[in-house]
Structure 1
Amino acid sequence: MIQDPTNRYIAAILSRCDLGGKEVLEIGCGKGRITQDLAKHAERVVATDPDAAALETARATIVADNVTFMQDQTGVPDLPPGSFDMVIYTLSLHHVPVEEMSGSLHTAAGLLRKDGVIVVVEPGDGGSFTEAKERFGAGSGNERPAKEAAIRAMHTLAGWTVEETIHFRTLFRFDDEEDFFVSMLAEYRQKPQSFVDEVRGFLHMHRTAEGIILDADRRLNVLRPY
C-alpha cells in the first residue's frame, strides 16, 4: 500500500502554516509517511508514536538529520515547555481515549512557544477508503464516534480558537486485491467466502491501470491561542 502518493497532506499543511525555520512535534507519526514531508520544510521534527514496530519502520525509512523519533505511550512526550513552534496530530487525536483528548491537547499546548499553533489532521466522512473501513471493518474500522469526540475536544480547549476547517482528499494505492487484504484485512481468510467475494467486488470497481485506488476525505484545523 502507498499512502498519499500525491502528497495532499503536506500541501494542506503548507496552505495554512509556514514551516520554514520551525521546530515541530508530530504526535502519532506511525511509519513516518507525513514525517518525511515535514522534515523537508521544517528546521527540526520530533516524531512520536506509542507503536514500537511502526517507529522502527519509520527510522529505517527516514534518514533525515533533522528528525528525532521517540516512543511515548501518551503521544505527548515529557519535554520542556516552549520546545516547539508547532504541534501536529497526524490522524492521531481520535485514537486518544475520549476522556484524555482534552488533556492531550492541553499538554501539547504547554510545549509551544509564544504564538505557536496546534495542527490537527483528522479523517473526514467521505471517500471509498472510508467506505471500506466502515462497510468491511478494514483497518481501524468505523471511527465516526471517535472523530466526533476529537472535534468536540478541539472546540472546547480553553484559551484556543479553531480556525476554518480545510477539507482535502487523499489517496491510497494498492498493487492488487492481495495488497489490500494483507494491509487492511489481515484476517480475511477467517471470514466467510461471501464476505471475501463482496470485498473483491468492491475493489474491482476501483481498479485502475496503476492498481486499486481508494480515496478518503480529510480535515485540517489550526488551533491558535486567543
Structure 2
Amino acid sequence: MTRAYDAIAEGYAALNATSLLNEYYNRPAIAELAGEVAGRRILDAGCGSGPISADLRDRGAVVTGIDASAGMLDQARLRLGPDADLLVADLAEPLPFADDSFDDVIASQALHYLEEWGPTLAEFRRVLRPGGRLIVSEEHPAAIFLADRLGGGSAEYFGVRARTEEWSLGGQTAQLVFWDRPLHAMTDAFAAAGFRITAISEPAPSPAAYERFPEAFVDRPSGRFLAFLLFVLEAPGA
C-alpha cells in the first residue's frame, strides 16, 4: 500500500482537494464532529496529503500528521509548509508517541487498509489522554454492499474480506487493497479496545456541494446519499 500511494500521491492530492466525497462531504463532517479544537493536541492518523490537518490547524489545533507513504507526506508538506509536524509511520505498527500524548485522534479513511483493527485501536487508546476522543471516518458498509450487488457482484455482507481496486491518477496506476467489514465488526472492535461510542453520523454534504455538483443530486430529493459512516469514540478515564 505504501508503494501504491507513493506512485499516485500527486494525483490523489489533487483529487482529494476537489472531489465531492472528500472536499464537500468527509472533511466538513469531520470538522463538525470535532467541534472546537483550539489548543487541542490532535493526531491525524493516515493524514495523506494533509487536508484535514490543514483544517484543524487553521482552527487552532496543534496537529501531528502520520502516514505510511512518504510520497503522500511530501504532498502534505507542500500544503502545510516545511515546519509541519509530519512523520512516516505505519498504522499496523506501534506508534512512535508516548502514552497520553493527544487530546484527539482523527482516523479518516485509514482503518480500511488494515485486516486487523485491534492492535491499531489499542495504540490509539494508548496515545490518547483519558477522556480523549477518536474520530473515525470509514466507507459505509451498507454502501459497499449495495454497490457490489448493483454491479452484479455476490460479496457477503458479513465477515471481513479484501477488496482490490485499480486507481489511475496523475498518469500513474496503482492497485489498492481495502478490507471491508460489517457494522457490528466495527463496533465490536471499538468496544474491545475500550472505547465508548458517543456519536454515529451518516452526514449530509456541505451546502456548497449542491451548487458545485448539481448533477449528483438530480435523483436525490433529500439531498443526501450513502457513502461514509463516522464515529466519535471516547477513551474513558481511569
TM-score range, shorter chain: 0.5 to 0.7
CA distance in 2, matches of 1:151, 1:87: 17
CA–CA separation in structure 2 for the residues paired with 1:49 and 1:142: 16
Cα distance change on mapping 1:61 and 1:225 into 2, 3 Å: closer
TM-score when scaled to structure 1?
0.65
Q: Which residue of 1 aligns with 2:181?
A: 145
Aligned 1:1-226 pairs, distance under 5 A = 1=15, 2-3=18-19, 4-6=22-24, 8-63=26-81, 67-74=84-91, 77-98=95-116, 101-125=117-141, 131=147, 135=151, 137=165, 139=167, 140=176, 143-145=179-181, 149-158=185-194, 160-169=195-204, 217-226=227-236
Question: In the alignment, is the contact (CA less than 8 A) between 1:81 and 1:110 conserved in 2?
Answer: yes
Native 8 Å contact 2:199 2:233 kept in 1: no
Using the aligned pairs only, state the percent identity: 19
TM-score (norm 2): 0.63
- Note closer, same or farther for the CA distance 1:11–1:142 as it changes in structure 2 (3 Å cut): closer
Distance 1:45 1:120 in 2: 16
Which structure 1 segments of 5+ residues have no match? Answer: 174-204, 209-214
Q: Shift in Å at residue 56 of structure 1?
A: 1.0
Gap regions ≥5 residues in structure 2: 1-14, 154-164, 168-175, 210-214, 219-224
Q: Which residue of 1 aligns with 2:161?
A: none
Report the residue type matching 1:220 in the other structure: L
Q: Is the 8 A contact 1:32 1:62 kept in 2?
A: yes
Separation in 1, partners of 2:75, 2:198: 34
The alignment covers a number of residue pairs equal to 182
Question: What's 2:8 paired with?
Answer: none
Q: 2 CA distance for matches of 1:60 and 1:16?
A: 24
Moved more, 19-28 or 76-85: 76-85
Deviating 4+ runs (over 6 angstroms): none
